[in-house]
Structure 1
Amino acid sequence: MTPSVLVAGAGPTGLVLGIEMARRGVPVRVVDRAAAPAAGSRGDGLQPRTLEVFDDLGVLDAVLAAGVAPSHVRAYAGGRYTGEKRMGELREPTPDVPYPNGHFLGQDRTEAILRARLTELGGRVEFATALEGFAQDADGVTATLAGPAGRETVRAAVLVGADGGASTVRRTLGIPFEGRTDESVRMLIGDVRVAGLDHTCGHMFTDEHDQRRGMFLSPLPGEDLFQFATPLENGTAEPEQIVHAAFAEFCGLPGVAIREVAWSTVWRPNVRLAARYRAGRVFLAGDAAHTHPPTGGQGLNTGVQDAYNLGWKLAAALAGRPDADALLDSYEAERRPVAAHVLGLSEELLRRHVEGADDAHERGPETQQLDIGYRGSPIVRDERARPGRLHAGDRAPDGPVVDAAGRPLRLFDLFRGPHATLLVFGDPAPGTVPADARVVLPAGRTATGTAVVDAQGFVAAAYDVPDGTAVLVRPDGYVGAIGDAGRMVPERVGAASRT
């Protein structure tokens, strides 16, 4: 197969991009130099916005079934129980936010679900296949791959580097990876099996006089598997020895013992941001573009949303959109500021942890990524003189509606898939809007055709627009345009809605 898109890296970012291409019928090839899928929980925290992305990709049910909901944490100091803590208050779902809380699932299992979805769509991951080099010209990229069958030369329209912090793609392009690596702070993180420890909650064991010293254990799906984190002090002991020593020093609970250290790695703050996300026909995404501290659970989620933003734009550009270059430029314009903001948030949470702040483990709405948006993006437009609460560039809210057959639906049901969706509020005259538009009628009306009824008024409240307004929801679930339905050009909006 000659790919239109070659993706280097089969972590969550590369897999989501592969899914995005495959479900749009764009030939894609996903390669990874590793011989097999990576083990270990690593990025186990899935934020609410990522759950919405997974809903659209068709993997949410599998993710929720395999993972666990956020739990409370039992805190101990010097072996003495001191009470319960929560990273944040659990919130009830609302009509516009159906998944208000995060979810925990080991990254290896998240990747397995994404690989299965890619396979279902006709794609696959080629492991033990390294990108050795590439060159680009005006028409595409020529890459050299080294795999089980030897070296081969591949031609693709686009190359995406989703190949991690040590990205071959970024280094080949010579794009600076600006930031810092702090060797003064090191932690050992990994997965451990513990016998006799309650698996329904997390556990924080700290020194009686210094909360920065200790071990944090977070339950993972599985009988007795926990993700652990413990500071690395001076010394050259093997990881397994360090884990056992820390557990013995800080835990001390009767009948509780480590059965196995299943996986571990040494982590140090490596906070960096690529100077550019695009160089001609080559793009960076995920850890190749930004690396984060684990505090706040932002890295994996930001990478997934990079791919979600880039995927539909690549597909539209390869399909011949006349504004293709501007559309592709908007990837960096929209996503790089998000990464910069998230890096600042992660660093602040890390600082609180290093300083031993009492609220170091607390998390608020700022980590959930539901407030991420693209106001000011060069490809969004808002034609209203007086915008309401919802602006072009904002995340499009969910909401309950009823279709022409009287069946209950959500707006997310209408958005799900590789298309954009044009919502027209009110009851426009026949022939004044594209045939594929979804007309949102107020309560008391009868739905016909593609119309849906906002029977409870939740949608009107969430979108805060008067009748006669058109709202174009992009394929990635963000508002691309808002304006008067009678003034927005139906042909232009209708074409965009089918991209």
Structure 2
Amino acid sequence: MHTTHTEVLVVGAGPTGLVLAIDLARRGIPHRVVERAERGFPGSRGTGIQPRTLEVFDDLGVLPAFLAESRAIAPSQIWEGAERVAVRALVESADDSPGIPYPDPQMLPQWRTVELLGARLEELGGHVDFRTELTGFTQDADGVTATVRHADGTAETVRAGWLVAADGGRSTVRKALGVPFTGERLPSAPMLIADVILAGPDRAEIDRDHWHMWPKSADGFLALRPLEGTEAVQVIAGLGDDAGDLEGEPGATPEQVTRLVAGRSGLRLTVDQVRWSSVYRAGTAMAERFREGRVILAGDAAHIHPPSGGQGLNTSLQDAYNLGWKLGAVLRLGAPEELLDSYDAERRRVAADVLGLASRVHRADQSGAEGGFQRRGKETHQLTLGYRESPLSRELRRDVPEGALRAGDRAPDAPCVDASGTAVRLFDLFRGPHFTLLDLTGAPAAAPLPDWIRTYAVGDGPKAALRDPEGHAKAAYGSGLFLVRPDGYVALATDDAADVAEYVRRVAG
């Protein structure tokens, strides 16, 4: 058994593990991603990408490819048997604001999102070791020693500074740590979700411009949702006593799903092929802590959500986005290891809040409101989630107006103009692994800062690197110095440049 070395070992190549690997790769941090499966996740399960996650994709360089294939959420066509009875909007757009460049959630099957993230990782020189399973690990004060088994049965020892468990709700890492994982089963019947190829005389009735729902079927809820970028349709159906017949391997058969779809829809539909299926029982759970020494839990390994409201995948991705820059600060900037305690503090609070929201949406759906579903409001967009209570957030200005941007809040976008007269967005300036200091004081520039902080004076004065001709930046931020973290949240808001230097010492050690 030979030993290899890396700085971060990531267990699991789902969306969470891939986002973390992308962030580490662009920081030049050596890492390994191991995945026991032979390829990425095969199903459509986590399809909804919220506006905040679109901003994450923008920063990581994934967004153009994602937008080229995804679509906004289609309106829902409500059916009663073979009759169309109503069309309803399922989601609410974000506020029309220059600060929110992506106001609408987008849809793409999870398997394709995973492929796009994997392609981006490869562009940055990274890769995934598929068919490679973590079989054990120990940790000490300086790192983690892990054992992995390859497809041919050979074993390898990996010595890493940090181990990140992104290995799903049944996380072997979390179980090995003995971290409690508690939650509740939510009231609902088991649900079938399947990616199928539909046929039959009425196939054309299932147009690709709507989600098709039968909320009042006597046998239970049915939804048929055409999947983006493929001819497949996602089937979602409540189950009864037949749930056990559809679970496990090899999963639901075409004949079983045909009986369900044809019986509940009243349409002459058949299922030619089942590409993937799963039966789930809605519930919530969260780990008691997200960090245990040199081992960190992220994504479903740390928290699981009901699918209602499209919160689980997005929250998991943003765990990785929060963690990446902090690992980078510890490994490259000399930040103390205690900085990683803020990952636990920030993300456990967010996960708890999002679990509550997803549970409320689930219960409203189960109540039958609005024909079997509840319209998803702006609170599901994750744009208002933040870290005001974090030990990393420092609001030092006086007399801040009520409702104003504060330290810990998401840093909004704004259209500006650079010195050459070229239009530039604040998000263009934020893009990358650095911190950004926005100077909206109109005073002389602050003292020189480390090269991992990029400073821009914003305003109309002679020293302004960015012009704000329509006042959008001023309206979004107000007056002061705003240090924006690499994950797009305001770390520090102050009127005194000396506070910036002090914060830098705190972060960089």
Query: C-alpha separation between the residues in 2 aligned to 1:365 and 1:183?
Result: 24
The aligned residue for residue 28 of structure 1 is 31
- Structure 1 range deviating more: 354-363 or 344-353: 354-363
Deviations 1:149-208 (A, max 9, x none): 511111000000000011011001000001134696201002122232201111002335
Task: Report if the CA contact (8 A) 2:329-2:508 is conserved.
Answer: no
The alpha-carbon distance between structure 1 residues 497 and 76, as it changes in their structure 2 partners (threshold 3 A), is: same
The aligned residue for residue 476 of structure 2 is 462
Q: Does 1:11 align with 2:14?
A: yes
Cα offset for 1:447? Answer: 6.3
Q: Does 1:404 align with 2:419?
A: yes
Cα offset for 1:221? Answer: 1.4
The alpha-carbon distance between structure 1 residues 341 and 39, as it changes in their structure 2 partners (threshold 3 A), is: same
Q: Aligned AA for 1:200?
A: D
The aligned residue for residue 349 of structure 1 is 361
The alpha-carbon distance between structure 1 residues 19 and 73, as it changes in their structure 2 partners (threshold 3 A), is: same
The aligned residue for residue 319 of structure 1 is 332
Q: Does 1:87 align with 2:90?
A: yes
Any idea what SS the aligned residue of 1:3 has? Answer: strand
Deviations 1:256-311 (A, max 9, x none): 54332221101112310000000011000000000111111111100000000001
Q: Does 1:189 align with 2:193?
A: yes
Find 2:380's aligned residue among 367, 379, 387. Answer: 367
Task: Report if the CA contact (8 A) 1:419-1:497 is conserved.
Answer: no
Superposed, 1:417-496 pairs within 5 Å as 417-429=432-444, 432=447, 434=449, 437-443=454-460, 445=461, 451-463=465-477, 465-466=478-479, 469-489=480-500, 491-493=501-503
Cα offset for 1:214? Answer: 2.6
RMSD: 2.2
Query: C-alpha separation between the residues in 2 aligned to 1:21 and 1:122?
Result: 11
Deviations 1:387-443 (A, max 9, x none): 241010000000001111110000000000000101111432256464865334334
Deviations 1:438-459 (A, max 9, x none): 334334x4566xx111111001
Q: Aligned AA for 2:287?
A: A
Deviations 1:14-43 (A, max 9, x none): 000001111101101000111222211110
Find 1:204's aligned residue among 213, 220, 228. Answer: 213
TM-score scaled by structure 1?
Answer: 0.93
The alpha-carbon distance between structure 1 residues 316 and 406, as it changes in their structure 2 partners (threshold 3 A), is: same
Task: Report if the CA contact (8 A) 1:438-1:452 is conserved.
Answer: no
Q: Aligned AA for 1:456?
A: E
Query: C-alpha separation between the residues in 2 aligned to 1:430 and 1:98?
Result: 29
Aligned length: 488
- Structure 1 range deviating more: 47-56 or 223-232: 223-232
- Structure 1 range deviating more: 9-18 or 189-198: 189-198
Task: Report if the CA contact (8 A) 2:53-2:318 is conserved.
Answer: yes
Q: Does 1:337 align with 2:349?
A: yes
TM-score scaled by structure 2?
Answer: 0.91
Task: Report if the CA contact (8 A) 2:434-2:454 is conserved.
Answer: no
Q: Aligned AA for 2:156?
A: E
Query: C-alpha separation between the residues in 1 aligned to 2:359 and 2:187?
Result: 15
Task: Report if the CA contact (8 A) 1:68-1:105 is conserved.
Answer: yes
The aligned residue for residue 139 of structure 2 is 136
Task: Report if the CA contact (8 A) 2:8-2:160 is conserved.
Answer: yes
Query: C-alpha separation between the residues in 2 aligned to 1:53 and 1:191?
Result: 27
The aligned residue for residue 169 of structure 2 is 165
Query: C-alpha separation between the residues in 2 aligned to 1:404 and 1:496?
Result: 33
Task: Report if the CA contact (8 A) 2:92-2:378 is conserved.
Answer: no
Task: Report if the CA contact (8 A) 2:8-2:31 is conserved.
Answer: yes
- Structure 1 range deviating more: 185-194 or 129-138: 185-194
Task: Report if the CA contact (8 A) 1:3-1:157 is conserved.
Answer: yes
Task: Report if the CA contact (8 A) 1:31-1:125 is conserved.
Answer: yes
The aligned residue for residue 249 of structure 2 is none
Can you give the 5+ residue segments of structure 2 that lack an aligned partner in the other structure? 247-251
Query: C-alpha separation between the residues in 2 aligned to 1:41 and 1:126?
Result: 22
Q: Among the aligned pairs, what percent are the same residue?
A: 48
